[in-house]
Amino acid sequence: MKRVVVHVDRLVLTGVGREARDAVAAGLQAELVRLMRDPRVLDRLAASDGVPRLRIRPVRIPSGTGPKTTGAVTARAIAGAGSK
């Protein structure tokens, strides 16, 4: 069984107020947990073994998007980063 450990050390949220950051983090965490149940996602992330840092391209979020959805969209960008 493969095991992937994800640590988000830094998340830059331009245009997101302090009051929304906990909800963004909750959305990010919930979506990562959901995505990690998919073996294809695990395979992509496990393939980056030994890479100390995984950088993703900036994620553009349409204005009016709620904080939990913002976190979920960001999680999908992280999960898809190994597929490029």
Contact of 49 with 2, CB cutoff 8 Å: no
For residue 84, what pLDDT is reported?
46
Per-residue model confidence (pLDDT) at position 82 = 55
Q: In this predicted structure, what is the pLDDT of residue 31?
A: 94
**3-class SS at 50?**
coil
Q: Cα–Cα distance between 45 and 39 in angstroms, integer? A: 10
**Residue position matching structure tokens 């204005």:** 63
**Low pLDDT (below 50) residues in the chain:** 84
pLDDT digits (tens, 9 = 90+) for 15-35: 888 889 899 999 999 999 899
Query: Tokens 């979020």 sit at which residue?
Result: 61
Quote the pTM value.
Answer: 0.76
Residue 67 region, left (φ>0) first, then alpha (ψ -120 to 50), else beta?
alpha
